[in-house]
Amino acid sequence: MDIHTVTSFRRALSRDDLALAPGETFLAGGTWLLSEPQPGTTGFVDLTTLGWPDLQATDAGLRIGATCTIGRLVRWSQAEAPPEWTAAGSFPDAANALLASFKIWRTATVGGNICRSFAAGAMVALAAGLDGTAEVWTPDGASRHIPVADLVTGDGTNSLARGEVLRAIDLPDAALRSRFVLRKIALAEHGRSGAVITGRVDADGGTVFGVTAATARPVVLRFPRLPSATVLRDAIHAASGYYTDPLGSADWRRGVSGVLAERIRVALHAEAPAA
């Protein structure tokens, strides 16, 4: 789409270049930004020229640069991820939960998907389900850290102030070593996700279920052990934020979230190592 209001474009080469002029906004992959009119935007500031590393594996976990493309993350998970990081096997499932083709994966960024903060943002589901933490650069030269699950405040809204930049997402080693499962459902075969549910069991037996797409903001449920079907169903149904739009009613989203969560619970139980 022609964004006819935009009259300037500049490439950020250092942090000093991130000071926004009136009307400017940050651009990464641009797959959403360039897809519809942006009447309040007169200039783009390209983040991809900052040279941030896509992926850095350390003893602490995986650091995902905000400008890393979704395609790059998928390729890494399939060919480069350490074998002990078993949760990486579900990264392609998260990418496939997007209403996007593999062509979009080549341009769309992990950080862009999180910053757009749509309820059905698949990278939000992945990061929230694995206790991802966002590093945010602030305009005063400092930085702050916040769980991705808390960064997103609603369907299409987040806690980023003007001029703040998502620098990276850190996934902890312990979560990456977990048994992790992601499931999704949509009303249409190729439609936007109506519910994306994640579940994982950590080495200490602690269990985490995440609800996204069905709720306006991520819901993270924690249990000391894999819960029973009844406990999990009640927790899923009691979660707040289920909403209605043309792609599904709140009651439908609540119901299918419970079904997907139970399927994940059964799968995690079946994968449990023998005592």
* Mean pLDDT across 160-176: 98
Lowest mean per-residue pLDDT among 31-35, 64-68, 149-153:
31-35
Check whether 100 has a pLDDT greater than 80. no
Angle CA(60)–CA(63)–CA(69) in degrees, nearest 5? 160
How far from chain centre, in Å, is Cα 161? 19
Burial letters for 201-222: b for 16+ Cβ neighbours within 10 Å, e otherwise? bbeeeebbbbbbbbbbbbbbbe
| pLDDT tens per residue, range 209-228 | 999 999 999 999 999 999 99
For residues 169 and 115, give the distance between their C-alpha atoms in angstroms, rounded to a whole number. Answer: 11
CB 72 within 8 A of CB 55: yes
Beta strands in the chain (DSSP E): 8-11, 24-27, 43-46, 55-58, 61-65, 133-137, 143-147, 152-154, 157-158, 165-172, 179-185, 195-201, 207-212, 219-223
Burial letters for 97-133: b for 16+ Cβ neighbours within 10 Å, e otherwise? bbebeeebbebbbbbbbbbbbbbbbbbbbbbbbbbbb
| pLDDT tens per residue, range 109-145 | 999 999 999 998 999 999 999 999 999 999 999 999 9
**CA nearest 22: which of 48, 43, 45, 47?**
43
* Mean pLDDT across 195-211: 97
Pick the CATH number of 55-173 from 3.30.230.10, 3.40.30.10, 3.20.20.70, 3.30.465.10: 3.30.465.10
Q: Where are the chain's structural domains?
A: 8-44, 55-173, 180-270
pTM of the model: 0.94
- Topology adopted by domain 180-270: Enolase-like; domain 1 (3.30.390)
